[in-house]
């Protein structure tokens, strides 16, 4: 049976509901329109810092009590911060639904930002940043985003840096929280064994009596349209393998060709039957892991290729990657290959909508990003309607000018490869 989605306004917030009577659980997500790209340079890391701090105690619950009240009833609670959204979500038995709502709203509305917890969590986040900085693949991706969006918030790490987090004051963090955490900036999604009357009753203490006069926040500075001038960057690390990240500008999430873009990525490297995996790993044995992915934002986007390999194989791998990209923009896509890509994209989409949590995510991302919830039938129809020529035409549009950016992290002797590999990658278009 197809999922039935319903959305309505309550207290200035947007509420979306997916009743799933055959389940025993319920998943709830509070989505706030704020993330890394909303930050000015001196605020880098604040959205993520707040995500941490909202678990550190409210006027009614200590940090330990927040987790105990959910986990002690068999549930789980978590959060994440992205470039454009921050989400706090939890799942537990539907009989505890009012309690689950109360905990999430208590966290996001009544947090006290205790001074001792603030300093302690600052250190925790700095250790998190150091952890990512010790992962060459993570550093390569951060460098690549910096190349694609220099001097822009999309090019800065969501976690911030050790220095930027060290400079954040408690007063500034509280001000950032109050600026963005209000009902007009909130999308609340509920999926599971609930109905609209029970949802409205649980939300009434938090949203039913007042309507926010504020408006949803805006993204701030828009990403520049002109291509970035620098094409390659490298960092030396005492490691044995070179981590390479390649990127090119893609499409915004509002572009009608976004489903074509996803199929282009699937063909390139999203699974084991993809071109890059079969060529670089299976045929030539150059890399254990090679993959492609897509990021889409309000007005821009990117397509990425990531791999790790020996320094002596970097240029060979780049030539093979360029060869596969040229093949795609020349239209060399068989009917069978296209069918496999469509079946994979549709199949993964269907598998991702089999739980209450994933329906909660689907509704939140849909309303926060598109102001509506696309139906599963609509998405599958769009994937099914893509033709081989659509993919080739899009490949020519985004790859045809040879605007590739390359980031490399590896041993000292590999650093000099970044410039040569970047030139090789962009030649012949």
3 state DSSP class of 364: helix
Q: How many helices (H) and strands (E) does the chain have?
A: 16, 11
DSSP bridge pairs for 408: 234, 244
Which entry of 39, 51, 84, 365 is annotated as an active-site residue?
A: 51
Structure tokens at 123: 């250190």
What is the spatial distance between Cα 217 and Cα 221, in angstroms, rounded to a whole number? 12
Strands (DSSP E) contained in 201-300 are 232-236, 242-249, 287-296
Break the chain down into helix, strand, coil percent, rounded to 5: 50, 20, 30
Is-contact 269 296, C-beta < 8 A? no
Active site residue 51: yes
Burial 404-419 (b: 16+ CB within 10 A, else e): bbbbbbbeeebbebbe
What's the token pair of residue 69?
């009240």
Which is nearest to 137 in space by CA: 304, 263, 249?
304
Asked if 234 and 414 touch (Cβ cutoff 8 Å), the reply is yes
Catalytic sites, residue numbers: 51
């Amino acid at each position: 049976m197809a999922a039935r989605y319903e959305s309505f306004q309550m207290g200035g917030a947007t509420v979306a509901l997916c009743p799933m009577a055959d389940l025993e659980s319920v998943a709830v997500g509070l989505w706030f329109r704020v993330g890394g790209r909303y930050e000015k340079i001196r605020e880098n890391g604040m959205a993520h810092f707040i995500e941490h701090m909202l678990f550190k105690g409210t006027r009614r619950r200590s940090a330990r009590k927040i987790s105990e009240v959910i986990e002690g009833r068999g549930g789980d609670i978590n959060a994440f911060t992205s470039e454009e959204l921050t989400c706090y979500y939890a799942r537990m038995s539907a009989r505890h639904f009012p309690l689950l709502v109360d905990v999430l709203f208590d966290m996001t509305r009544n947090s006290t930002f205790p001074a001792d917890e603030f300093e302690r969590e600052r250190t925790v986040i700095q250790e998190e940043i150091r952890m990512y900085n010790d992962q060459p693949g993570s550093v390569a991706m951060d460098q690549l985003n910096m190349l694609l969006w220099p001097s822009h918030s999309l090019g800065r790490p969501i976690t911030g840096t050790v220095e930027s987090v060290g400079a954040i004051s408690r007063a500034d963090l509280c001000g950032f929280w109050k600026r963005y955490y209000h009902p007009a900036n909130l999308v609340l999604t509920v999926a599971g064994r609930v109905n609209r009357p029970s949802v409205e009753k649980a939300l009434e203490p938090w949203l039913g009596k007042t309507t926010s006069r504020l408006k949803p926040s805006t993204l701030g500075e828009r990403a520049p349209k002109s291509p970035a001038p620098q094409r390659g960057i490298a960092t030396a690390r005492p490691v044995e393998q070179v981590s390479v990240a390649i990127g090119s500008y893609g499409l915004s999430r509002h572009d009608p060709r976004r489903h074509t873009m996803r199929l282009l990525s699937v063909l390139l490297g999203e699974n084991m039957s993809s071109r890059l995996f079969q060529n670089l790993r299976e045929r030539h044995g150059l890399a254990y892991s090679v993959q492609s992915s897509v990021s889409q934002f309000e007005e821009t986007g990117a397509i990425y290729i990531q791999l790790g390999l020996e320094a002596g194989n970097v240029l060979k791998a780049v030539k093979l990657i360029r060869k596969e990209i040229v093949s795609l923009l020349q239209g060399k896509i068989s009917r069978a290959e296209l069918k496999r890509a469509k079946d994979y994209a549709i199949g993964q989409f269907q598998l991702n909508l089999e739980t209450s949590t994933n329906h909660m995510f689907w509704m939140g991302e849909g309303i926060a990003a598109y102001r509506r919830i696309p139906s599963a039938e609509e998405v599958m129809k769009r994937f099914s309607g893509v033709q081989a020529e659509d993919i080739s035409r899009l490949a020519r549009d985004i790859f045809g000018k040879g605007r590739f950016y390359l980031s490399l992290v590896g041993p000292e002797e590999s650093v000099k490869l970044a410039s040569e590999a970047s030139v090789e990658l962009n030649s012949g278009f």
